[in-house]
A and B are shown apart, each in its own frame.
Chain A
């Protein structure tokens, strides 16, 4: 999808702004910061201090904590970033020159990411060097290079095995019987698991699952047992998902818990699930692996970083025809002195083959971090928080088309919603004054106290509309009057004047009482502005 298509939204009219505004928000921290900035500027305005005065003063006196980055910061940061990129590129290039076949010339000339390891020393060459590279330390409590290498190798075995399993398409559509029981429907080549879930805004949770068809394991327990062999007998548990509306909470899928129960308890998608002694895998999981997992066993370099007594990060570099991949694994030592995989991060560097959505591939950690070693599998289920109904979400009721605006407003309020505005639109089928629809739509799930627009019929569209007198009215009011008449082809031009307050209509290319065709008339409203920049606007 080409992002430039969305440029068409630039300089949108009021109606489109309304629609777009429902898609934006910021977290409370950002809003608080902006409100504080506004208050500070307001106080300055009250005191008669201009913004320039404030800026001049702040250059000298403002504390570091309050200060926005000064102008020299950006070039400096850019230089630093370039330095890091060069270091990263040098390291990768050196590594390749040193460890790969010189005849192989597919390495991209320039790399575009900076998250690669920047040290160029003490790398372990998987192809030519069997000698471990020790870390330059005398602390004997630190894990040795051998130990770290062995741990990563186990991870790599596990990773490769599960990768092979997932991409080998050893799964197939679920049977009809199961589909009926769990309301699972066939749709094209997917299984469509559609379950009612009170905690989703749209009332349903939709996911796609494939059935595993693998002789090695048929239950979640067998699956975990199978993969635990990669970790010296410790369990390999698969986390199940996060609770809707509470992204920090997560828990495991209980072996005796059905998919339906799990969803109804408000938990979101998970990777592997078991139903009726069969295993299913989510499409999310397959997608991640199929679309970008590198073959990390065929690598050309690896190295440990941030090595402490209780943790270390090890990065392995591998490559294919188009990309260099850095698979970074964070190992933490547990209380019983065994190691667990705390995080896996995966970056692909390429000039051409960014992923489909054009963003970093590092988020594969969201998938891989679910695969971790946990000896407390059972305890974690027991200690998981009980389900709590999320009362903040309510459903927009269904309206009868024979109700009026006043009744629709009452129904919204009765249901814990607010009425934001009423839109009058033409309709060939619904008589004037009666309800057409709401935005957001009826039956959709929204947060309590959401503002809802009501659309009311203006009756059939007339051939001609008599223009009202909007001179002297504020821009917003004039716009609303035009929109309410079904006149959407209008445009606002600012024009400098000292004779009127800012923001009122002072002229137009049509006169009041003109009869216009709502489909073809293009109305320009000239709105007053005290900004001298608009002195040069031409007259209508």
Chain B
């Protein structure tokens, strides 16, 4: 969706425009927010997502957007996630270490080697998961990254939970082999 498309919809009905924007970018926003607030509760994550969209609706209603709407939403989502992280950390009395992996934006950026290594590991992991094929790759990501249980996954993929567990078990073994072959250390798997 471009800003012009959004603007045209908004001129007819704000609610319609909001719903269309929400539908199109919900997964994108959720992924960004979840990626940064993975250790938080679902309730916190939903709260943050709603903040992102409220902010986006508000800013788009006030000022026309010159650039890419997706990039703009991504930026808002990242900023809001950081805000939520800080707020939640304050509320819980946790302090945020500048070296904390969960807050790389606060770090100096000097750990280029570490970041590159992490990026490489990320790519290898995603490559290996993708090579499992569907629905196994979806099951693995939903299970181990999104922390969904078999029933939830089964509901989304229209499978039996037992079949999900079976496939997950088999795919996890295969993934382990693939990762070991690509240099992941055995002890970390």
Seen from chain A, the residues whose Cβ lies within 8 Å of a Cβ on chain B are: 1-14, 16-27, 30-31, 33-35, 37-42, 44-46, 51, 68-69, 201-202, 241-242, 244-247, 268-269, 283-284, 287-288, 356-357, 359-360, 363, 366-367, 440, 444, 473-477, 479-480, 488-489, 491-494, 502-503, 522, 524, 527, 529, 531, 533, 538
Q: Whole-angstrom distance between the alpha carbons of A440 and B38 in the complex?
A: 25
Query: Are A474 and B72 CB-contacts (below 8 A) given A30-B46, A242-B160?
Result: yes
Is there an interface contact between A20 and B19, defined as CB atoms closer than 8 Å? no
Is there an interface contact between A34 and B46, defined as CB atoms closer than 8 Å? yes
Q: Whole-angstrom distance between the alpha carbons of A288 and B159 in the complex?
A: 16
Q: Which of B34, B57, B68, B115 contacts A480 (CB 8 A)?
A: B68
Closest to A43 in B: B54
Q: Which of B30, B52, B74, B134 contacts A475 (CB 8 A)?
A: B74
Provide the residues of chain A in CB contact with B118, threshold 8 Å.
8
Q: Whole-angstrom distance between the alpha carbons of A35 and B70 in the complex?
A: 18
Q: Whole-angstrom distance between the alpha carbons of A269 and B155 in the complex?
A: 15
Name the interface residues of B98-131: CB closer than 8 Å to any CB of A: 101-102, 104-105, 108-109, 112, 115-116, 118-119, 121-123, 125-126, 130
Q: Whole-angstrom distance between the alpha carbons of A10 and B104 in the complex?
A: 10
Provide the residues of chain B in CB contact with A201, threshold 8 Å.
134-135
Closest to A246 in B: B158
Provide the residues of chain B in CB contact with A17, threshold 8 Å.
28, 31-32, 35, 74
Query: Are A25 and B27 CB-contacts (below 8 A) given A37-B47, A357-B143?
Result: yes
- The distance from the CB of A459 to the nearest CB of chain B, in whole angstroms, is 22
Closest to A270 in B: B160
Q: Which of B61, B121, B162 contacts A46 (CB 8 A)?
A: B61
Query: Are A35 and B18 CB-contacts (below 8 A) given A531-B79, A533-B86?
Result: yes
B188 interface residue, CB < 8 Å from A? yes
Is there an interface contact between B162 and A363, defined as CB atoms closer than 8 Å? yes
Interface of B is mostly: helix
Identify 15 new A-B residue pairs, CB closer than 8 A, beyond the known A476-B70, A502-B75: A3-B147, A13-B119, A17-B74, A20-B141, A24-B31, A25-B156, A30-B46, A34-B46, A34-B50, A34-B53, A202-B134, A268-B159, A284-B162, A473-B67, A533-B82
Name the interface residues of B143-189: CB closer than 8 Å to any CB of A: 143-147, 149-151, 154-156, 158-163, 165-166, 168-169, 172, 175-176, 179, 184, 188-189
- The distance from the CB of B132 to the nearest CB of chain A, in whole angstroms, is 11
B83 interface residue, CB < 8 Å from A? yes
Provide the residues of chain A in CB contact with B134, threshold 8 Å.
201-202, 440, 444
Is there an interface contact between A21 and B86, defined as CB atoms closer than 8 Å? no
| Closest 3 A/B residue pairs (Cβ) | A476-B71, A41-B54, A37-B50
Provide the residues of chain A in CB contact with B64, threshold 8 Å.
none
Q: Which of A5, A363, A477 contacts B67 (CB 8 A)?
A: A477
- The distance from the CB of B94 to the nearest CB of chain A, in whole angstroms, is 16
- 5 A-B pairs within 8 Å (CB atoms) are namely A17-B74, A475-B71, A476-B68, A489-B119, A538-B108
Q: Which of A38, A68, A367 contacts B53 (CB 8 A)?
A: A38
- The distance from the CB of B106 to the nearest CB of chain A, in whole angstroms, is 8
Interface string of B2-14 (1 = CB under 8 A from A): 0000000000000
Provide the residues of chain B in CB contact with A288, threshold 8 Å.
162
Q: Which of A30, A202, A366, A503 contacts B133 (CB 8 A)?
A: A202
Q: Whole-angstrom distance between the alpha carbons of A449 and B144 in the complex?
A: 28
Q: Whole-angstrom distance between the alpha carbons of A367 and B105 in the complex?
A: 47
Provide the residues of chain B in CB contact with A25, threshold 8 Å.
27, 156
Seen from chain B, the residues whose Cβ lies within 8 Å of a Cβ on chain A are: 15, 18-19, 22-23, 26-28, 30-32, 34-36, 38, 43, 46-47, 49-55, 57-58, 61, 66-68, 70-72, 74-76, 78-79, 82-83, 86, 101-102, 104-105, 108-109, 112, 115-116, 118-119, 121-123, 125-126, 130, 133-135, 137-138, 141-147, 149-151, 154-156, 158-163, 165-166, 168-169, 172, 175-176, 179, 184, 188-189
Is there an interface contact between B142 and A23, defined as CB atoms closer than 8 Å? yes
Q: Which of A18, A480, A491 contacts B71 (CB 8 A)?
A: A480
Provide the residues of chain A in CB contact with B51, threshold 8 Å.
38, 41, 51
Provide the residues of chain B in CB contact with A19, threshold 8 Å.
126, 130
Query: Are A357 and B54 CB-contacts (below 8 A) given A19-B126, A268-B159?
Result: no
Is there an interface contact between B188 and A491, defined as CB atoms closer than 8 Å? no
Provide the residues of chain B in CB contact with A6, threshold 8 Å.
125, 144-145
Provide the residues of chain A in CB contact with B169, threshold 8 Å.
287, 356-357
Q: Which of B31, B119, B133, B159 contacts A20 (CB 8 A)?
A: B31
Closest to A488 in B: B119
- The distance from the CB of B57 to the nearest CB of chain A, in whole angstroms, is 4
- The distance from the CB of A194 to the nearest CB of chain B, in whole angstroms, is 13
Is there an interface contact between A38 and B165, defined as CB atoms closer than 8 Å? no
- The distance from the CB of A450 to the nearest CB of chain B, in whole angstroms, is 12
Q: Which of B18, B82, B135, B151 contacts A42 (CB 8 A)?
A: B18
Is there an interface contact between B160 and A491, defined as CB atoms closer than 8 Å? no
Is there an interface contact between A10 and B188, defined as CB atoms closer than 8 Å? no
Q: Which of A244, A476, A491 contacts B115 (CB 8 A)?
A: A491
Is there an interface contact between B18 and A38, defined as CB atoms closer than 8 Å? yes
Query: Are A10 and B38 CB-contacts (below 8 A) given A45-B58, A529-B79, A533-B86?
Result: yes
Taking each of A12, A14, A68, which has the highest tally of chain B beta carbons within 10 Å of its own beta carbon? A12
Is there an interface contact between A4 and B188, defined as CB atoms closer than 8 Å? yes
Taking each of B19, B27, B55, B76, which has the highest tally of chain A beta carbons within 10 Å of its own beta carbon? B27
Q: Whole-angstrom distance between the alpha carbons of A330 and B67 in the complex?
A: 60
- The distance from the CB of A477 to the nearest CB of chain B, in whole angstroms, is 5
Q: Whole-angstrom distance between the alpha carbons of A476 and B78 in the complex?
A: 11
Provide the residues of chain B in CB contact with A38, threshold 8 Å.
18, 22, 49-54, 57
Closest to A520 in B: B116
Q: Whole-angstrom distance between the alpha carbons of A288 and B161 in the complex?
A: 11
Q: Whole-angstrom distance between the alpha carbons of A481 and B81 in the complex?
A: 24
- The distance from the CB of B118 to the nearest CB of chain A, in whole angstroms, is 6
Q: Whole-angstrom distance between the alpha carbons of A493 and B107 in the complex?
A: 9
- The distance from the CB of A30 to the nearest CB of chain B, in whole angstroms, is 7
Is there an interface contact between A477 and B150, defined as CB atoms closer than 8 Å? no
Is there an interface contact between A11 and B102, defined as CB atoms closer than 8 Å? yes
Q: Which of A1, A23, A39 contacts B138 (CB 8 A)?
A: A23
- The distance from the CB of B83 to the nearest CB of chain A, in whole angstroms, is 7
Is there an interface contact between B109 and A477, defined as CB atoms closer than 8 Å? no
Q: Whole-angstrom distance between the alpha carbons of A160 and B164 in the complex?
A: 25
- The distance from the CB of B187 to the nearest CB of chain A, in whole angstroms, is 9
Provide the residues of chain A in CB contact with B74, threshold 8 Å.
14, 17, 475-476
- The distance from the CB of A468 to the nearest CB of chain B, in whole angstroms, is 15
